[in-house]
Amino acid sequence: MNILFGIHKPDSGYLKVFGTEVSFKSPLDAIENNIGMVHQHFMLIDDFTVLENVILGDEITKSKGLSIDFKKAGIVLNEIIDKYDLGLDVNKLISEISIGQQQKVEILKLLYRRSEILIFDEPTAVLSPVEVEHFFKIIDSFKADGKTIIFITHKLNEVKHISDRISVLRKGKLVYESDNSNELNISDLSKAIVGDINDIQNSEKRNASVKNVEALKLDDISLTVNEVKILNSLDLTLMKGEIHGICGVEGNGQSELVDVIYGLQKNFEGNYEKLIPGGISLVPDDRKRKGFIKEFNIGENISLKGANLNFLPSKKINKISEKIISDNDVRVSDLESPMSELSGGNQQKVIFARETETDKNIGSNKSDAEENNILLLVHPTRGVDINATSFIHSKIIEQRNAGKAVLLISSDLDELISLSDRLSVLYKGEILKTFNRNEFSRFIKSDSEIEPETDQNLY
């Protein structure tokens, strides 16, 4: 995709757009050839208005050509917004609008530049189910307008739902191509994606639970931030040896719930009791921001976790790195390369290892009783490739089998259903209902149908 959009140049081969051979030196060339791309990580300026973000680089100016004609630009944009029902206010700042709306701003950027070929990189990863539906409607109207859409995703049901043709790329090769028809089998697709690697049969490995030992109890927890009630008399009990899933649309109090349990948010009302010894481990939602220090290497990042090491000779650090790499199948070119050079899946493996590895293995001299026995996982496989996802899933089960209390927050329903022992629905800061595994197990798909999130740079 980076070649298509002019960010990288191919070593060999050629590119044809609408029948003419082209060679792109920069994204600008791609834009001029009516190719537009919505990146997975938005290219927006928080402190600019929607309008400023859209027109940047291709401004509508007054007759003299220097000052921007905001009025005219507003009219042009509103026409497009109305045509495709984008529902944006062009004068709002990016920092004031939701992620879903920000994506529409990215789409608006392409439409404003008259793109005919639209590339979407993981567009639905950040959207709620309702937003996804609306997104598909917009895509359909583009199709009706004769535009070409390239939709990159690892969510197979979405591919099946929206595509006319499907291609599978693996390790830089086109391994599968087919028209989307009723005969198309999703398991064939996932086989093409996974290749020869055997699925890890998550649900098979599940031990009988060490139930009925309460690990954590939240009783009538309420939290108000900036006069908005975020958690509302929330009750939650976490058992030892269970995976307790939390499902619900993002923004219903998930991150605040984690903050309360992890001790980052202290201004809550209600009772919070930890009933087993040891600490709490957290795999945070935004790994790039909260999960690790990108300039540090693997061993250094691991050593950050309160290990009793006053001196950190690089030999010791490298030993830790080696252990993490071999135990977790982390793909890294150099032992000492910074975390930022790892793919998303490998970064997540390292964070997961840091939070679950017994401290003894990474140089601390804590006793077993002081080990962290509660594990909070927030979107543990978001933006993670398919192999790393099944690896992390099997590790989660392993932690559960070892008797830890696991809280799993995810927006991936399939992940929640296949892993959870109990599943609670979080809505407007309240647990609406909690289901036991036998109540939702009929939704469990065979493992080949689970659609783990995929990091596209792996292919």
Partner 1 sequence: MDLITSVISLGFVAQVLRLMTPFYLGASAANFSERGGVINISVEGFMNLSAFSFAVISILTGNITAGFILAVLINLLFSIVFGYFTVSLKINQIVTGVGFNLFIAGLTKFLLVYIFSSSSNTPRFEGLPEFTLFSSIPFFGLFLTDYITLFCFLLIFISAYILFKTRFGLRLRSAGENPAAGESLGIKIRNYRYYGILICGFLSAMAGIWMASNQNSYSDGMIAGRGYIALAAMIIGKWKPVNIFFACLMFSAFEAFEISLQITGSDIPSQLIQMLPYFITILVLIGFIGKTKPPAADGVPY
Which positions touch partner 1 (CB under 8 A)? Answer: 26-28, 31, 39, 43-48, 52-53, 55-59, 61, 65-68, 70, 109
Minimal distance in Å, beta carbon 364 to partner 1? 36
Cβ nearer to partner 1, comparing 47 with 220: 47
Beta-bridge mates of residue 405: 374
Cβ nearer to partner 1, comparing 52 with 430: 52
Minimal distance in Å, beta carbon 207 to partner 1? 47
Cβ nearer to partner 1, comparing 117 with 231: 117
Close Cβ partners of 239 (under 8 Å, ≥ 6 residues apart): 209, 211, 212, 213, 214, 215, 405, 421
Q: For residues 438 and 139, is the Cβ–Cβ distance under 8 A? A: no
Close Cβ partners of 113 (under 8 Å, ≥ 6 residues apart): 31, 34, 36, 58
Minimal distance in Å, beta carbon 66 to partner 1? 5
Minimal distance in Å, beta carbon 73 to partner 1? 11
Q: How far apart are CA 343 and CA 457, in angstroms?
A: 7
Q: How far apart are CA 186 and CA 159, in angstroms?
A: 10
Q: Tokens 């980076």 belong to which residue?
A: 2
Cβ nearer to partner 1, comparing 59 with 250: 59
Measured over the CA atoms of residue 150, residue 154, residue 160 and residue 166, the dihedral's sign is positive
| Residue type, position 51, single letter | L
Cβ nearer to partner 1, comparing 58 with 177: 58
Tell me the residue length of the chain.
459
Cβ nearer to partner 1, comparing 6 with 363: 6
Cβ nearer to partner 1, comparing 46 with 179: 46
Q: Taking the chain, what is the end-to-end CA distance rounded to the nearest angstrom? A: 11
Which DSSP state fits 289? Answer: I
Q: For residues 360 and 352, is the Cβ–Cβ distance under 8 A? A: no
Q: Tokens 């009791």 belong to which residue?
A: 273
Closest to 451 (Cα-Cα) out of 389, 377, 379, 378: 389
Minimal distance in Å, beta carbon 95 to partner 1? 10
Minimal distance in Å, beta carbon 56 to partner 1? 5
Close Cβ partners of 367 (under 8 Å, ≥ 6 residues apart): none
Minimal distance in Å, beta carbon 109 to partner 1? 8
User: Residue 35 corresponds to which tokens in the numbers above?
Assistant: 């190719």
Cβ nearer to partner 1, comparing 58 with 133: 58
Minimal distance in Å, beta carbon 39 to partner 1? 7
Minimal distance in Å, beta carbon 37 to partner 1? 8
Cβ nearer to partner 1, comparing 45 with 130: 45
Close Cβ partners of 385 (under 8 Å, ≥ 6 residues apart): 343, 344, 345, 452, 453, 454, 455, 458
Which DSSP state fits 328? Answer: H
Q: How far apart are CA 221 and CA 24, in angstroms?
A: 56
